[in-house]
């Protein structure tokens, strides 16, 4: 995996260490952002699933067993908060576990 993603990884680390580089990357999406708009905050690590071929998996992986429903590799905070994705997960859980119909919202 490292050879295929070395450049991306180094760029990510550079943005983590340099506020200037971080602001420049943000300005690609919101040109008005300045250093004064950003303050340090906690950071975390998000696991990234890899396929058998070493490529990044860009979508959810859903696995079920008799009593367990796993949703793995939620690729972004926006995706995990999406109502449509939430509904798809609930529908799949209902189907997998033979749950009754849901109450309309």
Q: What is the pLDDT of residues 46-69, one digit of tens each?
A: 677 888 888 888 887 888 887 888
**2-17 helix and 19-27 helix, angle to the nearest 10 degrees:** 100
pLDDT at 103: 67
First to last CA, the chain: 44
Number of domains present in the structure of the chain: 2
Token pair in block for residue 5: 């993603």
Are residue 59 and residue 35 in the same domain, yes or no?
no
Do residue 10 and residue 61 come from a single domain?
A: no
Residues 21, 61 within the same domain: no
**pLDDT for residue 78 is more than 80:** no
User: Are 30 and 58 found together in one domain?
Assistant: no
Whether 102 and 56 map to the same domain: the answer is yes
- What is the spatial distance between Cα 57 and Cα 48, in angstroms, rounded to a whole number? 7
Cα 36 from chain centroid? Answer: 27
* 39/49 same-domain check: no
pLDDT exceeds cutoff 70 at 71:
yes
CA distances from 6 to 9, 13, 15, 45, 50 (A): 5, 11, 14, 17, 15
**pLDDT of 73 higher than 70:** yes
């Amino acid at each position: 995996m490292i050879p295929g993603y070395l450049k991306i990884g180094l760029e990510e680390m550079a943005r983590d260490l340099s506020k200037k580089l971080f602001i420049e990357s943000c300005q690609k999406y919101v040109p008005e952002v300045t250093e004064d708009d950003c303050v340090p905050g906690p950071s975390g690590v998000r696991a990234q699933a890899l396929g058998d071929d070493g490529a990044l998996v860009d979508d959810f992986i859903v696995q079920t067993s008799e009593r367990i429903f796993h949703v793995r590799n939620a690729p972004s905070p926006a995706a995990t908060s999406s109502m449509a994705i939430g509904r798809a997960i609930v529908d799949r859980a209902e189907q997998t576990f033979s749950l009754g119909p849901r109450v309309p919202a």
